[in-house]
Structure 1
Amino acid sequence: MPRQARGRLPRRLPAAALVALALLLTTAVAVITEHDPGPTRYLTDDRGRALFLHGFNTSGSAKSDPERLPWITEEAVQREYDLMGTNFVRLLLQWQALEPEHGVYDETYLDAVAERVDWYSERGYHVLLDMHQDLYGRFTSPERHSGNGAPEWATHTDGLPVEPQEMWELVYLEPGVVRAFDHFWGTTGEHPELMDGYAAAWAHVAARFAGEPAVIGYDLMNEPFGGSLQGPDFESGPLAELYRRCVARIREADQDTWLFVEGQAVGVNWGTPSALPHLADPREGEPRIVYAPHAYPLPMDLGQPYAGESRETVDTSVELWSASVRTTAERLDAPIVLGEFGLNVSREGATDYVARMLAETEQMAAGRVYWSNDHDGWGPWADEELNPGPLVDVMNRAYPRAVAGDPLEIDHDTDAARLSVRFAVREGVSGPTELYLPETDYPDGFDLSVAAPDGAKDWTFEWDADRRVLFVDTPSGAPGDEYTLTVVPG
């Protein structure tokens, strides 16, 4: 739930809230122990290679920008790659900018979005288009003091109040915001056109970007909130229905792009399981549904740092989140991308926490997108001149961008600057494995060793010094045969 400046929940929750939270967490543990997640699934490219996505949300600034566009420039995209070697961006869209009037789409706005997609495309990025909302939208109050997302024509509060709050998340509980969500989800039965209108807006976006190779997916709704309907009833009911409608409409225009879904943010962000049901994908071939939850561990939301005695508590929360996410992804039959995680990098232990989450996602074989690349204390920049801040060193790490088979293990020893990737040959996969190697870890070059099946020696490699990407081609081997690529400093 971010964030131009992310607020925190009160350090001391009311007793009733603590009891409810304890019940939620107890239920979460019970669900987790009853299910053993199955085999890991991956996003793949058009060559069948498993993709590892590493990048930033771009950006919270779009929420307040008059044109609803992020601050990013083409030069800044290049700067980000030069300093951190990212290959992924979650690019924020605004429904209110896309469809300011019911059924009328702003093509000038989409042109501006397409221009930014081109900036990333020219540098080899994968782009996820995210239909972002917080607090439903800015039109829930006459003062327009809170929120982003829904256009005015889709906002119905029935005159109920929406007062600003010191902690922005609490605006979700304002009567007018709850009523606006209830109308959208059909809980009131009075505005059935809203969910269909939202799905139609996605169909329009899909028609515009179908065939654009850089656009890897669409994030159907940022951090859904059910209004007066919460928990499993919301996720398995109107939220799943919205996703089904969006999937159906998008597939009319775009058969290939991956569709990213999130559970209810409240609880799921902390580590409780989602109740999202399996979602069918009508495309020809294998389904392309991605589970893309966010992670904001509850102890840190309550103000605890990733340091001292609270570090172990945060680690436990992360482990709970990871187990819950795997369980949900198994039910969805979906690969995992961590759609948001982050914090103010001036907080004690902040960079250690980011490194912890990067390591966790590598163990899960999941992509990850940090929130965000703004100049607000959370991002990688020390100032608006894009001088690097402390986050840059953490995000600039060696990682596999694409793996020519089924990844089995990623071992990244940051102290030794050693990256090892073990994978199994899979039929139908072509192209090399790609490894990003930052200059900070490999200032004098690298040494590559390859453990190949039956001692095969027909593997080759190429080094792109400008992009700092190592391409390792492993053409031999039967399905199931294993390769291990290991890179250490030269």
Structure 2
Amino acid sequence: MESRFFTTLFKTIKLTAGLAIISSISLGYSQAEESGSGIDLVGINMSGANFAPHITPGKVGTNYFYPEKKYFKYYAEKNIRLIRFPFIWERVQHDLHKGINFDQMRLLKRTLDYAAEHDQKIILDMHNYGRYKGKLIGSPEVPYKAYADVWRKLAEEFKGHPALLGYDIMNEPHSTNGLWPGAAQAAVDAIREVDMDALIFVEGDRWASTFHWRYVNEDFLIKDPADKIVYEGHLYLDKDFSGRYAADETVDPMLGIERVRPFVEWLKENNLKGFLGEYGVPAHSESMLVAMDNLLGFLNENCMPSAYWAGGPGWGEYVLAVEPIDGKDRPQMDVLQKHMSNNCTEYGPAGKH
């Protein structure tokens, strides 16, 4: 979600919380597939560990939250086994010239362990917008080597974990002055030094916007010796694409499809795999729920997985959240449930057309 949204969001969180190859890419087939209903395409962002990035390292349970086992249980009961898990680089590594933080590694491992207990897969998402302590990756303050080094260390820690699906190397890089492609390649190269099996999810510049993908990421092609890259875009339905949903809007039922189509077409033309890592709609908007329904139908037709924004602890009554309130499911959950079944056997979209 775009960073300009977070200032408002963290104020809300503080109030409400007391103060989310198959062929060449192996997914690890799920129970859903064994029952004949396809692979796991519908997922969620289990957010919380990424809260208050302006307060680092911050205090777990006050400024940010790691989910308890009950959150994994709820989504497992909904047959949702695909989880994107955001975390903050500055908490994992307090200083670029020092090692990674033991407490954060313990909490991340606990997260993976909880997921494994519930037959779920985790995408570890560094939620930093192409920056460390406000400085661009690739700048003199944050050289590519430092970024590569932290991902090498993370891969060493978590490679082979039964719940690990892959590494989302950076959430929504933006305004990177052309530095992002080099950073992305450095991270992929570092991960592959120690882990040739996990998927690597790579987001594009300009907040990973699917609608604007071809304007800024047309030639964004990363080399991977394991051939297990999944390109990731994000999509929101408000007028400024931000996900703030600052005003009530009635949208066209096909808006989600229109906004994701440029990304899907780029993937098809380049014979690449794709993932919609974030999208979300307000629970009270009937037109946006319809647009979300149509979007998920389109993604399933193209065998593209997605992760709804967002679930996890600390959201309170935040309008995009999919956590139940007083034991009652949110309207977005009904839409997610409609699209659990599919006839896909691998991530798409399929090849060149």
Interval containing the TM-score (normalised by the shorter chain): 0.7 to 0.9
Q: Which has the higher contact order (CA 8 A, sep 6+)?
A: 2
Which sits farther off after the overlay, 55-64 or 242-251?
55-64
Distance 2:148 2:189 in 1: 9
Partner of 1:380: 322
Which AA in structure 2 matches 1:117?
L
Distance 1:282 1:368 in 2: 25
Tell me whether 1:367 sits opposite 2:305 in the alignment: yes
Distance 2:149 2:29 in 1: 31
Q: Structure 1 residue 360: deviation in Å?
A: 2.0
Distance 1:330 1:353, change over 3 A: closer
Say if 2:39 and 2:346, in contact at 8 Å, map to a contact too: no
Say if 1:91 and 1:129, in contact at 8 Å, map to a contact too: yes
Which AA in structure 2 matches 1:77?
F
Distance 1:61 1:256, change over 3 A: closer
Partner of 1:279: 222
Describe the SS at the equivalent of 2:110.
helix
Q: Structure 1 residue 75: deviation in Å?
A: 1.3
Distance 1:5 1:225 in 2: 14
Q: Deviations over 1:203-240 (max 9, x none)?
A: 1110011111211110111000124x2xxxx2xxx211
Larger-gyration structure (1/2): 1
Q: List runs of 5+ in structure 1 lacking aligned partners.
A: 9-39, 137-149, 156-179, 410-490
Identity of aligned residues (%): 18
Q: Structure 1 residue 321: deviation in Å?
A: 3.0
Q: Structure 1 residue 196: deviation in Å?
A: 1.4
Distance 1:389 1:372, change over 3 A: same
Partner of 2:41: 53
Say if 2:91 and 2:101, in contact at 8 Å, map to a contact too: yes
Say if 1:263 and 1:275, in contact at 8 Å, map to a contact too: no
Q: Structure 1 residue 306: deviation in Å?
A: 6.2
Q: List runs of 5+ in structure 2 lacking aligned partners.
A: 9-21, 53-57
Which AA in structure 2 matches 1:342?
G
| Match 1:291 to one of 231, 240, 258 | 231
Q: Structure 1 residue 272: deviation in Å?
A: 4.3
Say if 2:204 and 2:220, in contact at 8 Å, map to a contact too: no
Distance 1:121 1:401 in 2: 23
Distance 1:406 1:101 in 2: 37
Say if 1:277 and 1:332, in contact at 8 Å, map to a contact too: no
Which AA in structure 2 matches 1:278?
L
Q: Structure 1 residue 43: deviation in Å?
A: 4.7
Say if 2:75 and 2:81, in contact at 8 Å, map to a contact too: no
Q: Deviations over 1:235-270 (max 9, x none)?
A: xxx211111111111011101000101111358344
Which AA in structure 1 matches 2:73?
Q
Distance 1:80 1:297 in 2: 24
Partner of 1:90: 84
Q: Normalized against structure 2, the TM-score is what? A: 0.77
Equivalent residue runs for 1:27-66 within 5 Å: 43-46=25-28, 51-60=39-48, 62-64=50-52, 66=59
Say if 1:225 and 1:264, in contact at 8 Å, map to a contact too: yes
Distance 1:69 1:248 in 2: 31
Q: Structure 1 residue 299: deviation in Å?
A: 3.1
Partner of 1:160: none
Q: Structure 1 residue 89: deviation in Å?
A: 0.4
Which AA in structure 1 matches 2:42?
H
Q: Structure 1 residue 353: deviation in Å?
A: 2.7
Say if 2:323 and 2:330, in contact at 8 Å, map to a contact too: yes
Q: Structure 1 residue 393: deviation in Å?
A: 1.7
Equivalent residue runs for 1:104-183 within 5 Å: 104-134=99-129, 136=131, 150-151=132-133, 155=134, 180-181=135-136
Distance 1:299 1:406, change over 3 A: closer
Describe the SS at the equivalent of 1:371.
strand
Say if 1:42 and 1:51, in contact at 8 Å, map to a contact too: no
Output the aligned Cα RMSD: 3.3
Which AA in structure 1 matches 2:72?
V
Say if 1:345 and 1:351, in contact at 8 Å, map to a contact too: yes
| Match 1:394 to one of 319, 322, 335 | 335
Which AA in structure 1 matches 2:239?
P
Partner of 1:260: 201
Tell me whether 1:326 sits opposite 2:264 in the alignment: yes
Distance 1:79 1:405 in 2: 26
Distance 2:347 2:210 in 1: 28
Describe the SS at the equivalent of 1:62.
coil
Which AA in structure 1 matches 2:85?
L
Q: Structure 1 residue 320: deviation in Å?
A: 3.7
Say if 2:213 and 2:262, in contact at 8 Å, map to a contact too: yes
How many pairs align?
314
Tell me whether 1:338 sits opposite 2:338 in the alignment: no
Which AA in structure 1 matches 2:223?
A
Q: Deviations over 1:156-213 (max 9, x none)?
A: xxxxxxxxxxxxxxxxxxxxxxxx33xx333xxx34x532111111111100111112
Describe the SS at the equivalent of 2:170.
coil
Which sits farther off after the overlay, 241-250 or 267-276?
267-276
Tell me whether 1:355 sits opposite 2:349 in the alignment: no
| Match 1:224 to one of 173, 181, 184 | 173
Partner of 2:12: none
Which AA in structure 1 matches 2:222?
L
